[in-house]
Chains A and B, each alone.
Chain A
C-alpha cells in the first residue's frame, strides 16, 4: 500500500501570509495527487486534483505542485475563511490512502 506522509500536522499563520503544506508518497504516484479542504463540521471539499489542477470555483490563491513522490500545497495569501484541515490523497492505484491532515489556523 502507498503511504502518504503529510507535514506539518498543524500550523498557525497571519492573514496574508503564504502557507505551504507538503505531502510525501512512499512510491511514485504519477501525479495522481489530490488536495481536500475540510472546515469544522463539514464534509471535505476537493480543491486540487492531479497535483496542480484547481477544481472549479476554487480561489486562485490555492495552488499545488510537485511530482513523483513529493508534493506541495500552497495558500498564497491566507484568509480567515481558510481555517480548516487540509488532506492530501493519492488516486494512483488501489487501495487509496489519505495523508494525516494539516490543521491550519489564523493567528
Chain B
C-alpha cells in the first residue's frame, strides 16, 4: 500500500524559503515514476505547483508558470523522498500543501491517484 507523508515547518517568515519533504512508503521513487505538489489556500480551491519524475531515465520537472521563478523540486532516492522549495514567500503562499503520486500509463502522466494528508504552512512574521 503506497502512502505519502508531508513534513516541514508549519510557520515560515515572509521573504524566506518554504521547504517541504514528502516521504514515500510502499513504492520506490527510483523506479520510473512521477510525483507532484498541490496546494490549497484556506477556504479556496486546489492549485497545482509542479511535477517531478524520472520516466525517461532522467529527472524531469514541470512547474506552474505563476510559481516557476520561485519553485524547485528534487528527488532523494536514497531516502525515498521528494522535496519542494518555494523561495521569497509571502502571505499569499499560506496554504495546505499536498504531495501526490502521479498515475502513469504507457509513459503518460494521467492523474494524481494517491495523496498525502497535507500539511498547513503559514507565512507570517
Contacts and interface: CB of A to CB of B under 8 A. Distances in A.
A43 B98 contact: yes
Interface residues of B, number: 21
Contacts, number: 58
A87 B38 CA distance: 13
A55 B111 CA distance: 10
A25 B101 CA distance: 24
A105 interface: no
A50 B103 CA distance: 11
Query: Which residue of A42, A94, A98 has the most chain B CB atoms within 10 A of its CB atom?
Result: A94
A98 B48 contact: yes
Interface of B: 38, 45-48, 51, 62-65, 98, 103, 109-113, 115-118
| Interface SS majority for chain A | loop
Contacts of B46: 36, 38, 44, 87, 89, 98, 101
B47 A98 contact: yes
Interface residues of A, number: 24
A43 B116 contact: yes
Contacts of B103: 46, 49
B110 A98 contact: no
B113 A55 contact: yes
A45 interface: yes
